[in-house]
Amino acid sequence: MLKNSKSKLLEGWDYAPNVVTYIRIILSILFIILYLVAGPWGYTSTAIRWSVFVLFVIAASTDKLDGWMARKYNQVTELGKLLDPIADKLLMLSALIIASAFGELYWWITALFVIREIGITILRFYVINKGGKVIAASSAGKFKTLSQSIGIAMLLVPIVPIFCANDIPLWVICYYSIAYGLIGIAIGFATYSGILYVNDALKH
């Protein structure tokens, strides 16, 4: 029985959509390592901080690529269903946690996102255990991901060590106001989409 389950899980492991997911996981791991090496705001290495920004943009941009490929080419697999959300959460949550550890983002913001993701994951397993279908991502959830990704990407740009050696220019204040504003918008969408998930779960 276990052998059959294992073979079913590994079925289609070499499909193109799964390969994209593997690459995204590898990029996320590299992102984590380089983010830590670059130090807060990129003071340790501006060059490495730029590479962190590039890795994040590439990984975040391919967020939906594997799922789209799987549906388009009829290559949806159990392994893909398992690894895709892991890859998504690995990138976003690690970025938030490291940013908070570096003092670039308030911990309460990161905590809200982490609690939301854990709650949604529990709800999904609850619905599946009840025999229902996996709850699809809502439009609010997609807007959350978009605004969150842009906001985090803006934070990763090493502006502080380059332009803020002495006084902080007004445009830098405006820049970070936009970045944090986008993350604030993402919190709003995260809360709203979380409520939608709960309502959908209660219907099953």
Question: Residue 8's pLDDT is what?
Answer: 61
Model pLDDT for residues 72-88, shown as the tens digit of each residue? 777 777 777 777 778 88
Query: What average pLDDT does this structure show over 62-78?
Result: 76
Pairwise CA distance, residues 122 & 160, whole Å: 39
- Looking at per-residue pLDDT, the higher value among 190 and 203 belongs to 190
Question: Given a cut of 80, is residue 28 above it in pLDDT?
Answer: yes
The domains located in the chain, with CATH, are 13-201 (1.20.120)
Confidence of residue 5 (pLDDT cuts 50, 70, 90): very low
Model pLDDT for residues 79-135, shown as the tens digit of each residue? 777 777 788 889 999 999 999 999 999 999 999 999 988 888 777 667 666 655 555
Q: Within a 10 A sphere around the Cβ of 30, how many other Cβ atoms?
A: 14
Query: What average pLDDT does this structure show over 35-52?
Result: 95
